Amino acid sequence: MLEDFGNGKKHGLLYYANGPSLEEINSTVPVPKEGGFFKKLMAFSGPGALVAVGYMDPGNWVTSIGGGAQFGYLLMSVILLSSLIAMLLQYMASKLGIVTQMDLAQATRAHTGKVLGIILWLTTEAAICATDIAEVIGGAIALELLFRIPLVLGVTLTVFDVLLLLLLTKLGFRKIEAIVVTLIVVILAVFAYEVGVSNPNWAAMFGGFVPKPQILHPGELTMALGIVGATVMPHNLYLHSSISQTRKIDHNDEDAVAEAVKFSTWDSNIQLTGAFVINCLLLVLGAALFFGHGEGLGTFTSLFDALQNNQLAGAVASPVLSILFAVALLASGQNSTITGTLTGQIVMEGFIHMKMPLWARRLITRLISVIPVLICTIAYGGKESALDSLLVNSQVFLSIALPISMIPLTIFTSSKKIMGERFANKMWINVLAWVCTVALTILNLQIVWQSLSSL
């Protein structure tokens, strides 16, 4: 059992927390007891969209576009495998939350000591900050592209997205879900059109879904792990295990719990399929516009400029589409604002049993994330290429941190004692989960060794 820290006891902005995960929204969304498949699917749809946001944030943009620009369609298979791994992990995360009524952070803390809990909390916080770095960079570059705001000022202005968070929290959880879904559809439509008129090599694109040995070469491996880190993000496991509990169900009825798991899985897989398509479109666009055109292409700024340049972009060249690209980039970063903040609150409450107002949580996380971005921006004279490099490295760090979340998630959802006979993972799911965990861990150790050897 979780330790009793005294409900509601206040110390400044901090509270001792001992209650359901994200108590303010837990079990607040009613679901129909009667009705057909689609009626129930709509009732359970929403959390998957908030999770999918993390799979199409600016970190995905720079790794997918950069991967296409540098290596053509080679890394399409990495996006496919990453998306399949994501679907498996998010299924286990949502099931953990629905069945046990604990999020991943709470479950981990309940089965570890205080010291290990703090270590895991700090590691997870670092991963959240790495995610936020991507949002800072994407937002700052989007502001520069749209309004010619210098990068240093743009980085600073991203701190004020806390005001957006305050506005969104007043709308209610279902409306937030609807806004996120709308933005996802807009981003999908923009890039589907841009890819359609950019004349990609369709045969090479589909051939790219077959894994090739070249992926393990140092340069390709770094970008591949960046794509994995940007696609399968540790914080999404904590987020999904919490917001899957927003639906109001009767936990004394095993059939109702099973139904919630089923529809949560449908919701997650549908939204993650959309994220997979968007990431493929980004890589294809990078490959179609930039592959073989020399160094320095594949950044946000170069893609923005290329979309107005007939020599590079051809039929896709259009000032309107380049502006839409920048707007979508800004939206993708801001889309992650609410989910990143919710995740920060989840891990703080779960691992160290403390909470603070969401606006304060957001402000602290953003200030921590802004510091390395500002240092990098100033040190390299405001060059976007330096920020792109920092962004890719932040995504590689996420890939390195991923096994720390995957291991306890697999252990907990495999346990019949924790999940019950009916809801514990089937053997084939356990095997797949452990294969993914071991493979990622080995690849991460390899890239760390390569980095140390190059010093």
Region of 145 please: left (phi>0), alpha (psi -120 to 50) or beta. Answer: alpha
Q: What's the pLDDT tens digit per position in 388-409? A: 667 667 767 776 777 888 899 9
Name residue 7's amino acid: N
Question: How confident is the model over 278-326, as pLDDT tens digits?
Answer: 889 989 988 887 776 654 455 566 666 666 665 555 555 567 777 777 8
Dist CA 1 CA 438 (whole Å)? 30
Q: At what angle do helices 384-414 and 218-231 cross, to 10 degrees?
A: 60
Q: Within 13 Å, how many C-alpha atoms sit on residue 313's CB side?
A: 23
**What's the pLDDT at 428?**
93
pLDDT in tens, 222-253: 788 777 766 677 788 998 999 899 888 888 88
Max Cα-Cα span within the chain: 66
More confident residue, 295 or 74: 74
Average pLDDT over residues 331-359: 74
DSSP-derived 3-state class of residue 354: strand
Least confident residue range of 25-39, 45-59, 144-158, 374-388: 374-388
pLDDT score recorded for residue 5: 35
Can you list the domains of the chain with their CATH numbers? 10-453 (1.20.1740.10)
Q: What's the mean pLDDT in 141-165?
A: 77
**Does the structure show a pLDDT above 80 at 12?**
no
| pTM of the predicted model over 0.85 | no
Collapsed DSSP state (helix, strand, coil) of residue 341 = helix
- Confidence grade of residue 136 (pLDDT, cut at 50, 70, 90): confident
Please tell me the predicted confidence (pLDDT) of residue 305. Answer: 67
Mean pLDDT of the chain: 78
| Range name among 95-99, 201-205, 438-442 with the lowest pLDDT average | 438-442
Q: How confident is the model at residue 7 (pLDDT cuts 50, 70, 90)?
A: very low
User: Once rounded to an integer, what is the mean pLDDT over residues 19-30?
Assistant: 77
Name the burial class of residue 42, with classes exposed (0-12), middle (13-18) and buried (19+) by CB atoms within 10 angstroms of its CB.
middle
Mean pLDDT across 420-447: 85
pLDDT of 427? 92
**Residue 43: which of 217, 174, 148, 158 has the closest Cα?**
174
Q: Which of 64-68, 103-107, 316-320 has the lowest mean pLDDT?
A: 316-320
Helix (H) / strand (E) containing 429: helix 427-453
Task: Kindly report the number of other CB atoms within 10 A of residue 262's CB atom.
Answer: 15
pLDDT at 8: 46
Per-residue pLDDT, averaged over 204-217, amounts to: 88
Higher-confidence residue of 346 and 418: namely: 418
